[in-house]
Structure 1
């Protein structure tokens, strides 16, 4: 069994090694071999696999999706689990605020590093990847390093009022995730509280992987580009 959530760009694990072996067996070149690390060479080989399936443009970007990975598994003889293992029901999301957390960049950075460790994201996501995109820029733009931040005015601000005094679907926390996104992309082993710094950032990381493939493609995380929603 290979889990889709494990074969993300920048991760190192046995599931990555399994898809590397499958790609190599199918005739797609990975010069360094099946190392278990999903880097640029694996991305290029996977993009070639996607093109071989007939995918084009963003559907052949080298970032695995459920359809392409399942087809690779069928060819190589392994099954694929496309679920987010830590996902929770939206009704299970808690709205308790934090207390005593310092509102500054070093504190946010420490929590971001913990979230990377929890999710398996490279710590380069905190310091900056190849094009400079990083979680610190995203967090600063989204919340100003305020772990209890809540946006009561954007398009998501609807639904019944919750114990924190904000409507259900408001964006919350360091990375300003909405409850539905937090629940769907919740990281296993983290708190169910949406304001919890590590849980909040970890859910954002999993969402970025799912939607963009890598943080380098998120404009809101790139200090060289103007702010934009993500």
Structure 2
């Protein structure tokens, strides 16, 4: 069984190696071989696989999705688990705000570093990747480094009112994730409280991996580009 959540850019694990073996067996070149590291060579090979499946140039971005990886697994003889392993039911999500969390970049950075360690995201997601995209830019734009921030006016602000006084699916916390996004991308080993800094940022990281493939593709995280919802 190969977990989609493990086959992400920059990750190093056996699921990446299985994917690389499958790509090589299918005739796609990875010069360094099946190293178990999802690097630029692996991304190029995966993009070629996506094009073979009929993806357009824009769709063939080299970042695995459930459908394309499942088809590769079917050809190579492995099954794919698309559901994030730490996912929780939405009725488990809790909405109690934090106490005594300073509103500062230094505090937010510490939590972001821990979230990267929990999820396996590279440290450069905090300090900045090649195009300077980083979590701190995203968090500042989303919440001004306020761990208890809640948006009661956006399009997601629907559902029953919770103990924090806001509707169920309002965007909350440092990274402004909705309850549905938080539950679907919840990181195993973190709190079920959506305002919890590490749990909130970890869910955002997992969401970015699943939707964008890498933080470099998130405009909201790029200080060189205008703010844009992610």
| Fold conserved between structures, TM > 0.5 | yes
Number of the residue aligned with 1:201:
201
Cα deviation per residue 1:62-107 (whole Å; 9 max; x = unaligned)? 0111111111112211111111111111111001111111211111
- For residues 61-76 of structure 1, the aligned pairs below 5 Å read 61-76=61-76
Aligned to 1:222: 222
> What is the aligned partner in structure 1 of residue 188 from structure 2?
188
Q: Deviations over 1:107-154 (max 9, x none)?
A: 111111111111111111111111111000000000111101111222
User: 3-state DSSP class of the match of 1:21?
Assistant: helix
- Distance in 1 separating the partners of 2:216 and 2:103: 26
Q: Partners in 2 of 1:204 and 1:75 — Cα distance?
A: 32
Mapped pair 1:164 → 2:164: yes
Q: 2: CA distance between counterparts of 1:96 and 1:42?
A: 42
Question: Which runs of 5 or more residues in structure 1 are unaligned?
Answer: none
TM-score (norm 1): 0.97
Query: Shift of the alpha carbon at 1:51?
Result: 1.0
Unaligned 5+ residue runs, structure 2?
none
* Contact kept? 2:12, 2:38, Cα under 8 Å: yes
CA contact (8 A) 2:51 2:57 kept: no
Say if 2:145 is the partner of 1:145. yes
C-alpha distance after superposition, 1:166-209 (max 9, x if no partner): 11111100000010110111111111000000100011111111
Partner of 2:107: 107
Structure 2 distance, partners of 1:158, 1:129, is 35
Residue pair 2:28, 2:48 contacting (<8 A) in 1 also: yes
- Give, in whole Å, the separation in 1 of the partners of 2:61 and 2:128: 21
Structure 1 residue 57 displacement after superposition = 2.6
- Is this contact kept in 1: 2:133–2:222, CA < 8 A? yes
Moved more, 215-224 or 49-58: 49-58
Cα distance in 2, alignment partners of residues 217 and 87 from structure 1: 24
Looking at structure 2, the residues matched to 106 and 12 of structure 1 have their Cα atoms a distance apart, in angstroms, of 29
2:126 is aligned with 1:119: no
Hey, which bits of structure 1, 4+ residues long, moved more than 4 A?
none
Q: Secondary structure at the match of 1:103?
A: coil
Q: Is the 8 A contact 2:7 2:64 kept in 1?
A: yes
Query: Where does residue 42 of structure 2 map in the other structure?
Result: 42
Using the alignment, how far apart are the partners of 1:48 and 1:154 within structure 2?
A: 38
What's the offset of the Cα at 1:163?
Answer: 0.5
Higher mean alpha-carbon deviation, 35-44 vs 158-167, is at 158-167
